[in-house]
Amino acid sequence: MSENNLKRQTYGNFELRGKITVGEDSFFLNQKGSNNKNFIYHRMNLRMDDGKGGNFFLNVMDGYDSVKGKKIFAQIKDGNFDDNLEVSFADRHNPEILKNIDDRAFIRVAVDRIEDENGKKVFDYKHFLTMYDAIEFLKENLKSDMIVYVRGQQRFSKYNDNLNKDLTVKTFLVLPAEEEHELGFKFNQQILLDKDSVDTTQWEKENVAYIKSKLYYTKYNKETQSKEPNILVLPLVVRATDDKKEVIKKMIDKFLKVEGSKVRRIQVEGYYNSGYAQGNVKLEDLPPEALELIEDGIYTEEEVQKIYANRNRVDEMVVVRPVIIRKEEGDLPKVDMDDNEFEESDLNSLPPEVEEVEIKVEEEDLTFLDDL
Protein backbone atom coordinates (compact mmCIF):
# COMPACT_ATOMS: atom_id res chain seq x y z
CA MET A 1 0.00 0.00 0.00
CA SER A 2 1.11 3.57 -0.51
CA GLU A 3 2.06 5.55 2.60
CA ASN A 4 0.56 8.61 0.88
CA ASN A 5 -2.89 7.21 1.69
CA LEU A 6 -2.28 7.16 5.44
CA LYS A 7 -4.34 9.55 7.55
CA ARG A 8 -3.27 11.61 10.54
CA GLN A 9 -3.10 9.60 13.72
CA THR A 10 -5.56 10.02 16.58
CA TYR A 11 -3.33 11.18 19.39
CA GLY A 12 -4.34 12.42 22.83
CA ASN A 13 -3.01 14.43 25.76
CA PHE A 14 -3.23 14.05 29.52
CA GLU A 15 -3.06 16.51 32.41
CA LEU A 16 -2.80 15.21 35.97
CA ARG A 17 -2.84 16.94 39.36
CA GLY A 18 -2.70 14.80 42.46
CA LYS A 19 -1.11 13.97 45.80
CA ILE A 20 1.52 11.28 45.37
CA THR A 21 2.44 8.25 47.43
CA VAL A 22 6.05 7.11 47.15
CA GLY A 23 6.73 3.55 48.28
CA GLU A 24 8.83 0.49 47.56
CA ASP A 25 7.01 -0.15 44.28
CA SER A 26 7.23 3.42 42.96
CA PHE A 27 10.65 3.21 41.29
CA PHE A 28 12.66 0.43 39.69
CA LEU A 29 16.10 1.39 38.38
CA ASN A 30 18.53 -0.52 36.18
CA GLN A 31 16.16 -3.38 35.47
CA LYS A 32 16.87 -5.94 32.75
CA GLY A 33 14.33 -6.81 30.09
CA SER A 34 12.68 -10.22 30.43
CA ASN A 35 13.14 -11.07 26.74
CA ASN A 36 16.29 -9.06 26.07
CA LYS A 37 18.78 -9.05 28.94
CA ASN A 38 20.75 -6.33 27.16
CA PHE A 39 17.86 -3.93 27.58
CA ILE A 40 18.38 -1.80 30.70
CA TYR A 41 15.50 0.36 31.86
CA HIS A 42 14.15 2.59 34.62
CA ARG A 43 10.46 2.42 35.53
CA MET A 44 8.24 4.71 37.60
CA ASN A 45 4.82 3.64 38.87
CA LEU A 46 3.57 6.59 40.88
CA ARG A 47 0.23 6.61 42.68
CA MET A 48 -1.66 9.92 42.53
CA ASP A 49 -4.82 10.69 44.55
CA ASP A 50 -7.37 13.43 43.93
CA GLY A 51 -8.63 13.67 47.53
CA LYS A 52 -12.12 12.54 46.49
CA GLY A 53 -11.57 8.77 46.29
CA GLY A 54 -10.12 8.74 42.78
CA ASN A 55 -6.59 7.71 41.95
CA PHE A 56 -4.30 7.39 38.96
CA PHE A 57 -1.14 5.34 38.51
CA LEU A 58 1.45 7.16 36.42
CA ASN A 59 3.32 4.23 34.88
CA VAL A 60 6.21 5.18 32.59
CA MET A 61 9.49 3.55 31.63
CA ASP A 62 12.49 4.18 29.41
CA GLY A 63 15.73 2.41 28.66
CA TYR A 64 18.43 1.46 26.19
CA ASP A 65 20.21 -1.56 24.74
CA SER A 66 23.59 -1.96 26.43
CA VAL A 67 25.03 -3.53 23.25
CA LYS A 68 23.26 -1.73 20.40
CA GLY A 69 22.70 1.54 22.22
CA LYS A 70 19.72 3.75 21.40
CA LYS A 71 18.92 6.48 18.91
CA ILE A 72 17.15 9.61 20.11
CA PHE A 73 15.44 11.82 17.53
CA ALA A 74 15.09 15.40 18.78
CA GLN A 75 13.70 18.44 17.00
CA ILE A 76 16.37 20.86 15.81
CA LYS A 77 16.34 24.39 17.22
CA ASP A 78 14.95 26.96 14.76
CA GLY A 79 14.25 24.19 12.24
CA ASN A 80 11.04 22.95 10.66
CA PHE A 81 8.73 20.67 12.65
CA ASP A 82 10.04 17.56 10.90
CA ASP A 83 13.72 18.50 11.17
CA ASN A 84 15.17 16.09 13.70
CA LEU A 85 18.67 15.55 15.01
CA GLU A 86 19.75 11.96 15.63
CA VAL A 87 21.49 11.68 18.99
CA SER A 88 23.11 8.53 20.34
CA PHE A 89 22.19 7.54 23.89
CA ALA A 90 25.80 8.04 24.98
CA ASP A 91 25.75 11.66 23.74
CA ARG A 92 22.52 12.68 25.44
CA HIS A 93 24.42 14.90 27.94
CA ASN A 94 26.85 16.42 25.43
CA PRO A 95 26.42 20.23 25.71
CA GLU A 96 27.66 20.81 22.15
CA ILE A 97 24.83 18.63 20.87
CA LEU A 98 22.17 19.81 23.30
CA LYS A 99 22.60 23.47 22.31
CA ASN A 100 21.26 22.60 18.84
CA ILE A 101 18.06 20.95 20.14
CA ASP A 102 14.74 22.78 20.42
CA ASP A 103 13.41 23.34 23.94
CA ARG A 104 10.22 21.45 23.07
CA ALA A 105 12.21 18.24 22.63
CA PHE A 106 13.17 18.15 26.30
CA ILE A 107 11.23 16.80 29.27
CA ARG A 108 10.82 19.65 31.75
CA VAL A 109 11.03 18.72 35.43
CA ALA A 110 10.89 21.04 38.44
CA VAL A 111 10.79 19.97 42.09
CA ASP A 112 11.67 23.38 43.56
CA ARG A 113 11.04 27.07 42.94
CA ILE A 114 13.63 29.85 42.95
CA GLU A 115 13.51 33.63 42.81
CA ASP A 116 14.09 35.30 39.45
CA GLU A 117 15.79 38.68 38.95
CA ASN A 118 12.55 40.41 39.97
CA GLY A 119 12.18 38.45 43.18
CA LYS A 120 9.31 36.38 41.82
CA LYS A 121 9.09 32.68 42.63
CA VAL A 122 9.50 30.58 39.47
CA PHE A 123 10.00 26.90 38.80
CA ASP A 124 13.62 25.72 38.70
CA TYR A 125 13.43 23.63 35.56
CA LYS A 126 15.73 20.71 34.79
CA HIS A 127 15.72 19.57 31.17
CA PHE A 128 16.11 15.92 30.19
CA LEU A 129 16.35 14.44 26.72
CA THR A 130 15.16 11.02 27.95
CA MET A 131 12.63 9.81 30.51
CA TYR A 132 15.36 7.41 31.64
CA ASP A 133 17.27 10.31 33.24
CA ALA A 134 14.11 12.06 34.43
CA ILE A 135 13.00 8.97 36.37
CA GLU A 136 16.38 8.75 38.08
CA PHE A 137 16.16 12.43 39.09
CA LEU A 138 12.58 12.08 40.36
CA LYS A 139 13.44 9.06 42.49
CA GLU A 140 15.92 11.17 44.43
CA ASN A 141 13.57 14.12 44.91
CA LEU A 142 9.97 12.93 45.29
CA LYS A 143 8.34 12.30 48.65
CA SER A 144 4.89 11.15 49.70
CA ASP A 145 2.16 13.80 50.06
CA MET A 146 3.70 16.13 47.49
CA ILE A 147 1.19 17.65 45.04
CA VAL A 148 2.41 17.20 41.48
CA TYR A 149 1.32 18.34 38.03
CA VAL A 150 2.09 16.08 35.06
CA ARG A 151 1.32 16.78 31.41
CA GLY A 152 2.12 14.89 28.24
CA GLN A 153 0.87 12.81 25.34
CA GLN A 154 -1.04 9.54 25.43
CA ARG A 155 -1.52 6.82 22.89
CA PHE A 156 -2.77 3.26 23.17
CA SER A 157 -1.43 -0.11 22.14
CA LYS A 158 -2.58 -3.69 22.31
CA TYR A 159 -0.61 -6.49 23.96
CA ASN A 160 -2.00 -9.98 24.65
CA ASP A 161 -5.51 -8.69 23.84
CA ASN A 162 -5.20 -5.99 26.54
CA LEU A 163 -5.42 -2.30 25.72
CA ASN A 164 -2.46 -0.46 27.23
CA LYS A 165 -2.24 3.27 27.88
CA ASP A 166 1.21 4.55 26.88
CA LEU A 167 2.05 7.91 28.46
CA THR A 168 4.84 10.22 27.28
CA VAL A 169 5.62 12.78 29.98
CA LYS A 170 6.60 16.25 28.74
CA THR A 171 6.25 18.27 31.98
CA PHE A 172 6.52 17.20 35.62
CA LEU A 173 6.19 19.81 38.40
CA VAL A 174 6.02 19.64 42.18
CA LEU A 175 3.42 22.28 43.06
CA PRO A 176 3.79 24.65 46.05
CA ALA A 177 2.42 23.00 49.20
CA GLU A 178 1.20 26.32 50.60
CA GLU A 179 -1.17 26.95 47.68
CA GLU A 180 -4.59 25.46 46.92
CA HIS A 181 -4.78 23.16 43.90
CA GLU A 182 -7.73 21.63 42.07
CA LEU A 183 -6.84 17.94 41.83
CA GLY A 184 -7.99 15.62 39.07
CA PHE A 185 -6.96 13.58 36.06
CA LYS A 186 -8.00 14.97 32.68
CA PHE A 187 -7.49 14.02 29.05
CA ASN A 188 -8.10 15.23 25.50
CA GLN A 189 -8.39 12.53 22.83
CA GLN A 190 -8.97 12.40 19.10
CA ILE A 191 -11.38 9.55 18.31
CA LEU A 192 -13.29 8.10 15.37
CA LEU A 193 -17.01 7.37 15.52
CA ASP A 194 -19.42 5.56 13.21
CA LYS A 195 -23.12 4.67 13.35
CA ASP A 196 -22.50 1.77 15.74
CA SER A 197 -20.25 3.60 18.20
CA VAL A 198 -22.76 4.98 20.73
CA ASP A 199 -24.95 2.82 22.97
CA THR A 200 -27.61 4.73 24.93
CA THR A 201 -29.75 1.78 26.01
CA GLN A 202 -28.93 2.46 29.68
CA TRP A 203 -29.31 6.24 29.48
CA GLU A 204 -32.85 6.56 30.87
CA LYS A 205 -32.30 4.07 33.67
CA GLU A 206 -28.68 4.68 34.71
CA ASN A 207 -27.72 8.04 33.11
CA VAL A 208 -24.83 6.42 31.25
CA ALA A 209 -23.94 5.99 27.58
CA TYR A 210 -21.22 3.65 26.33
CA ILE A 211 -19.01 4.61 23.40
CA LYS A 212 -17.01 2.18 21.33
CA SER A 213 -14.68 4.67 19.67
CA LYS A 214 -11.82 3.78 17.35
CA LEU A 215 -8.26 5.02 17.15
CA TYR A 216 -6.20 5.29 14.00
CA TYR A 217 -2.47 4.76 14.31
CA THR A 218 0.25 3.72 11.92
CA LYS A 219 2.75 0.96 12.54
CA TYR A 220 5.84 -0.16 10.70
CA ASN A 221 5.63 -3.47 8.86
CA LYS A 222 9.09 -5.05 8.68
CA GLU A 223 8.07 -7.41 5.87
CA THR A 224 6.84 -4.68 3.55
CA GLN A 225 9.20 -2.07 5.04
CA SER A 226 6.42 0.47 5.11
CA LYS A 227 3.91 2.04 7.47
CA GLU A 228 0.37 0.70 7.55
CA PRO A 229 -2.84 1.51 9.47
CA ASN A 230 -3.44 0.05 12.91
CA ILE A 231 -7.01 0.36 14.21
CA LEU A 232 -7.76 -0.01 17.93
CA VAL A 233 -11.03 0.15 19.85
CA LEU A 234 -11.09 2.55 22.79
CA PRO A 235 -14.09 2.18 25.15
CA LEU A 236 -15.37 5.44 26.64
CA VAL A 237 -18.39 6.40 28.73
CA VAL A 238 -20.58 9.46 29.18
CA ARG A 239 -22.19 9.95 32.58
CA ALA A 240 -24.78 12.46 33.77
CA THR A 241 -26.37 13.61 36.96
CA ASP A 242 -30.13 14.17 36.90
CA ASP A 243 -29.78 17.94 36.68
CA LYS A 244 -27.45 17.73 33.66
CA LYS A 245 -29.12 14.79 31.95
CA GLU A 246 -30.95 16.79 29.28
CA VAL A 247 -28.03 18.96 28.17
CA ILE A 248 -25.60 16.03 28.10
CA LYS A 249 -28.04 13.97 26.02
CA LYS A 250 -28.20 16.89 23.60
CA MET A 251 -24.39 16.84 23.36
CA ILE A 252 -24.42 13.09 22.66
CA ASP A 253 -27.02 13.38 19.92
CA LYS A 254 -25.40 16.38 18.25
CA PHE A 255 -21.73 15.42 18.33
CA LEU A 256 -21.22 11.75 19.21
CA LYS A 257 -23.99 10.02 17.27
CA VAL A 258 -23.24 9.48 13.58
CA GLU A 259 -25.66 8.45 10.87
CA GLY A 260 -25.29 6.38 7.73
CA SER A 261 -21.84 5.56 6.40
CA LYS A 262 -20.11 8.62 7.84
CA VAL A 263 -17.00 8.34 9.99
CA ARG A 264 -16.48 11.28 12.32
CA ARG A 265 -13.15 12.39 13.70
CA ILE A 266 -13.73 14.43 16.83
CA GLN A 267 -11.61 15.61 19.73
CA VAL A 268 -13.21 15.11 23.14
CA GLU A 269 -12.19 16.11 26.63
CA GLY A 270 -12.91 14.24 29.81
CA TYR A 271 -11.42 12.68 32.91
CA TYR A 272 -10.00 9.36 34.08
CA ASN A 273 -12.35 7.80 36.62
CA SER A 274 -10.25 5.32 38.58
CA GLY A 275 -10.82 4.09 42.11
CA TYR A 276 -13.74 2.60 43.98
CA ALA A 277 -17.34 3.50 43.29
CA GLN A 278 -19.54 3.17 46.35
CA GLY A 279 -23.16 2.33 45.69
CA ASN A 280 -26.08 3.57 47.76
CA VAL A 281 -27.80 1.16 50.17
CA LYS A 282 -31.35 1.88 51.29
CA LEU A 283 -32.39 1.38 54.90
CA GLU A 284 -34.92 -1.34 53.97
CA ASP A 285 -32.15 -3.33 52.24
CA LEU A 286 -30.02 -3.65 55.38
CA PRO A 287 -29.91 -7.00 57.24
CA PRO A 288 -31.44 -7.27 60.79
CA GLU A 289 -28.05 -7.19 62.54
CA ALA A 290 -27.22 -3.90 60.81
CA LEU A 291 -30.55 -2.38 61.88
CA GLU A 292 -29.84 -3.43 65.47
CA LEU A 293 -26.54 -1.51 65.41
CA ILE A 294 -28.49 1.61 64.47
CA GLU A 295 -31.27 1.03 67.04
CA ASP A 296 -28.73 0.43 69.81
CA GLY A 297 -26.96 3.69 68.96
CA ILE A 298 -23.66 1.96 68.26
CA TYR A 299 -23.52 3.28 64.69
CA THR A 300 -25.45 6.00 62.90
CA GLU A 301 -27.63 5.14 59.91
CA GLU A 302 -25.15 6.87 57.58
CA GLU A 303 -22.17 4.92 58.99
CA VAL A 304 -23.92 1.58 58.58
CA GLN A 305 -24.94 2.39 55.02
CA LYS A 306 -21.32 3.14 54.16
CA ILE A 307 -20.18 -0.14 55.72
CA TYR A 308 -22.67 -2.24 53.75
CA ALA A 309 -22.40 -0.32 50.47
CA ASN A 310 -20.93 -2.21 47.55
CA ARG A 311 -17.49 -0.93 46.60
CA ASN A 312 -16.67 -1.76 43.01
CA ARG A 313 -13.38 -1.00 41.32
CA VAL A 314 -13.82 1.32 38.34
CA ASP A 315 -11.31 2.30 35.67
CA GLU A 316 -12.83 4.25 32.81
CA MET A 317 -12.41 7.31 30.63
CA VAL A 318 -15.41 9.61 30.97
CA VAL A 319 -16.18 12.01 28.12
CA VAL A 320 -17.43 15.44 29.26
CA ARG A 321 -17.75 17.36 25.97
CA PRO A 322 -16.15 18.00 22.59
CA VAL A 323 -13.19 20.34 22.31
CA ILE A 324 -13.77 23.78 20.78
CA ILE A 325 -10.89 25.28 18.79
CA ARG A 326 -10.08 28.46 16.92
CA LYS A 327 -7.46 27.62 14.29
CA GLU A 328 -6.41 31.19 13.51
CA GLU A 329 -6.96 34.62 14.99
CA GLY A 330 -10.28 35.96 13.79
CA ASP A 331 -11.74 32.54 12.96
CA LEU A 332 -15.05 31.51 14.43
CA PRO A 333 -14.76 28.99 17.30
CA LYS A 334 -15.88 25.52 16.24
CA VAL A 335 -15.93 21.99 17.55
CA ASP A 336 -12.81 20.12 16.49
CA MET A 337 -14.47 17.49 14.32
CA ASP A 338 -14.68 16.45 10.69
CA ASP A 339 -16.89 14.01 8.78
CA ASN A 340 -14.74 13.95 5.62
CA GLU A 341 -11.25 12.99 6.78
CA PHE A 342 -12.03 9.28 7.21
CA GLU A 343 -14.20 6.71 5.46
CA GLU A 344 -15.58 3.34 6.50
CA SER A 345 -12.78 1.59 4.65
CA ASP A 346 -10.22 3.36 6.85
CA LEU A 347 -11.60 1.58 9.91
CA ASN A 348 -10.96 -1.73 8.18
CA SER A 349 -7.34 -0.73 7.54
CA LEU A 350 -8.01 -0.48 3.81
CA PRO A 351 -6.32 2.47 2.07
CA PRO A 352 -8.96 4.47 0.17
CA GLU A 353 -8.37 6.76 -2.76
CA VAL A 354 -7.60 10.24 -1.51
CA GLU A 355 -9.98 12.92 -2.77
CA GLU A 356 -9.78 16.65 -2.31
CA VAL A 357 -12.77 17.75 -0.23
CA GLU A 358 -13.78 21.34 0.32
CA ILE A 359 -14.86 21.85 3.92
CA LYS A 360 -17.22 24.74 4.59
CA VAL A 361 -17.32 26.17 8.11
CA GLU A 362 -20.58 27.68 9.24
CA GLU A 363 -21.28 29.47 12.48
CA GLU A 364 -23.28 27.36 14.92
CA ASP A 365 -24.67 27.85 18.40
CA LEU A 366 -22.34 26.07 20.84
CA THR A 367 -23.35 27.96 23.97
CA PHE A 368 -25.05 24.93 25.52
CA LEU A 369 -21.62 23.27 25.87
CA ASP A 370 -20.77 25.83 28.56
CA ASP A 371 -23.28 24.02 30.81
CA LEU A 372 -21.37 20.73 30.67
Q: What is the mean pLDDT of the chain?
A: 87
pLDDT tens digits, one per residue of 134-178: 999 999 999 999 999 999 999 999 888 889 999 999 999 999 999
Contact indicator for 99, 30 with CB cutoff of 8 Å? no
Q: Is the residue at 85 inside a domain?
A: yes
Distance CA 197, CA 258 (A): 8
Burial class (CB in 10 A: 0-12, 13-18, 19+), 7: middle
* 36 pLDDT above the threshold of 50: yes
Distance CA 101, CA 78 (A): 9
Distance CA 249, CA 171 (A): 35
Distance CA 13, CA 30 (A): 28
Burial class (CB in 10 A: 0-12, 13-18, 19+), 17: buried
Could you tell me the sign of the dihedral formed by the alpha carbons of 177, 181, 184, 190, in that order? Answer: negative
Tell which of 131, 154, 182 closes a domain.
182
Q: What pLDDT is recorded for position 370?
A: 58
Proportion of the chain above pLDDT 90, given as a percent: 67
Residue 251: its H or E element: helix 245-251
pLDDT tens digits, one per residue of 353-363: 333 333 333 44
Q: Specify the pTM.
A: 0.82
Query: Is 38 found in the same domain as 159?
Result: yes
Tell which of 182, 214, 247 closes a domain.
182
Distance CA 10, CA 13 (A): 11
* 63 pLDDT above the threshold of 80: yes
Q: What pLDDT is recorded for position 272?
A: 96
Q: Determine the average pLDDT of the residues in 62-90.
A: 90
Beta-bridge mates of residue 319 = 270
pLDDT tens digits, one per residue of 213-234: 999 999 888 888 788 899 999 9
Tell which of 182, 210, 244 closes a domain.
182
Q: Determine the average pLDDT of the residues in 320-332.
A: 87
Query: Is 351 found in the same domain as 310?
Result: yes
Contact indicator for 130, 62 with CB cutoff of 8 Å? yes
Q: What pLDDT is recorded for position 293?
A: 80
Distance CA 173, CA 151 (A): 9
Contact indicator for 64, 40 with CB cutoff of 8 Å? yes
Query: Is 228 found in the same domain as 113?
Result: no
* 1 pLDDT above the threshold of 70: no
Q: Helix count (H) and strand count (E) of the chain?
A: 6, 21
pLDDT tens digits, one per residue of 269-320: 999 998 765 555 566 667 777 788 888 888 887 777 666 665 556 789 999 9
Q: Determine the average pLDDT of the residues in 3-13.
A: 84
Q: Determine the average pLDDT of the residues in 250-275.
A: 95
Residue 221: CB atoms within 10 Å: 12
Query: Is 269 found in the same domain as 168?
Result: no
Q: What pLDDT is recorded for position 362?
A: 40
Beta-bridge mates of residue 237 = 210, 318
Q: Is the residue at 2 inside a domain?
A: no
Closest CA to 289 of 306, 308, 302: 308
Q: Could you tell me the residue range of the domain that residue 262 belongs to?
A: 185-372
Contact indicator for 347, 193 with CB cutoff of 8 Å? no
